[in-house]
Amino acid sequence: MDIQLQKVSYAYAKGTPFEKRALFDVELAIPSGSYQAIIGHTGSGKSTILQHLNALLKPTEGALQIGDRTITAGKKAKDLKPVRQKVGIVFQFPEHQLFEETVLKDIIFGPMNFGVSEQEATKRAHKLIELVGLPHTILEKSPFDLSGGQMRRVAIAGVLAMEPEVIVLDEPTAGLDPRGRKEIMDLFLQLHKERNLTTILVTHSMEDAARYADRIAIMHEGKCVLTGSPEEIFGNAEKLATYRLEAPRIVRFQRELEAKIGRRLQTLCLTEEELARAITAAVREERAGQ
């Protein structure tokens, strides 16, 4: 499902003395099946964009295209439920949204709101609990008896149970330890590939954006200032610096090495494995040349 923001502007508390503009003429097209990262500092407008992606906020100017629905500023938008079912959002610290007596009831809350039968929703819950790496016995427990990491997984299962076509992730690994972080990010990558999801990752981690995304958009002071592939975005450190952003550690390392040895490696590398391979190749060339 394609998502398109056309000259979207948004102002909080519009028409009051406390009005605050958060987005200015944002143009962003997210094609179906892509893994899009939206990067920016706190306050850059990335969480305001996030809330537009399933019409929790409606643009105060411009238009928003979500699949075949168009939401235009100033016009009433009725019945947004189909949009919300198709675009699932995993909010930052999603464990804060748990409320039911049991994990099972919490997971089926979403799908049942969208008219899925209890039987079908329960079936989904059983499949998903395994997918997020938790035992089936946990379904009967109270979510409030679980550890923080387990609660996060339950909340994620609750969003996945709606079977969205687009999944929006807001700093999904905040506060997790390194292992938890990697497991969660790998889980979303697997889902992205297997279910052909459109994945939108809102983050301030350059590392995650470089490793997982195939398209990147940079937000700065309420504007979408740069879009492109990870190679295009991270290859241009000077441009990034003007938005007070740094290239990922891997890219910075590659650049330092290149400066030291006085030549460029073949490609811009985005993972440690790629970088190790490129350096090895350069070392071999060097030996052969001697």
Partner 1 sequence: MDEILSLDHITFTYSPDEPNVKNAVEDVSFTVHEGEWIAIVGHNGSGKSTIARLMNGLLFPQQGTIKVMNEPLTEENLWEIRSQMGMVFQNPDNQFVGATVQDDVAFALENNGIPYKEMVKRVHEALQQVKMDQLLNHEPQHLSGGQKQRVAIAGALALKPRLLILDEATSMLDPQGRAEVLATVQALREETGLTVLSITHDLEEAILADRMLFMNGGEKFAEGTPSEIFALGDQLLDLGLDLPFAMKLTKLLKQDGVELQGEHMTEEELVNDLWTSNFKK
Partner 2 sequence: MMEKMIFGRFMPGDSFVHKLDPRSKLLFVFAFIFIVFFANNPVTYAGLLVFALLVIFVSRIKLYFLINGLKPVIILMVFTFLLHIFFTKEGNPIFEWKFIHVYEEGLRQGIFISIRFLVLVFMTSILTLTTSPISITDGLEVLLNPFKKLKLPVHELALMMSISLRFIPTLMDETDKIMKAQMARGSDISTGPIKERVKAVVPLLVPLFVSAFKRAEDLATAMEVRGYRGGEGRTRYRQLKWDGKDTLAMILLVAMTALLITLRS
Residues that bind partner 1 (CB under 8 A): 41-43, 147-149, 174-180, 182, 204-206, 244, 249-250, 252-253, 256-257, 260-261, 272-273, 275-277, 279-280, 283, 286-287, 290
Helices assigned H by DSSP within the chain: 46-52, 81-86, 103-113, 118-131, 148-160, 178-194, 206-212, 230-234, 237-242, 249-261, 272-289
> Where in 171-190 is the site for partner 2 (CB under 8 A)?
none
Q: Are 122 and 108 contacting, i.e. CB atoms less than 8 angstroms apart? A: yes
- Residue of 155, 176, 156 lying closest to 99 (CA atoms): 155
- Report the residue from 110, 222, 230, 248 that binds partner 2 according to the rule CB under 8 A: 110
In this complex, which beta carbon is closest to partner 2, that of residue 14 or of residue 193? 14
Q: CA-CA distances (angstroms) from residue 25 to 61, 63, 242?
A: 8, 10, 20
Tabulate helix, strand, coil % of the chain (nearest 5): 45, 20, 35
Shortest distance, position 13 Cβ to partner 2, whole Å: 5
Q: How far apart are CA 154 and CA 204, in angstroms?
A: 24
Residue type at 57 in one-letter notation:
L
In this complex, which beta carbon is closest to partner 1, that of residue 1 or of residue 213? 213
Note whether 20 binds partner 2 by CB under 8 A. Answer: no
> Which partner in partner 2, partner 1, none is near 94 (CB below 5 to 8 A by kind)?
partner 2
Shortest distance, position 200 Cβ to partner 2, whole Å: 13
Q: Are 90 and 159 contacting, i.e. CB atoms less than 8 angstroms apart? A: yes
> Which partner in partner 1, partner 2, none is near 76 (CB below 5 to 8 A by kind)?
none
Chain residues binding partner 2 by CB under 8 A are 13, 16-18, 51, 54, 56, 81, 84-85, 88-89, 91, 94, 96-99, 109-110, 113-114, 144, 158-159, 162
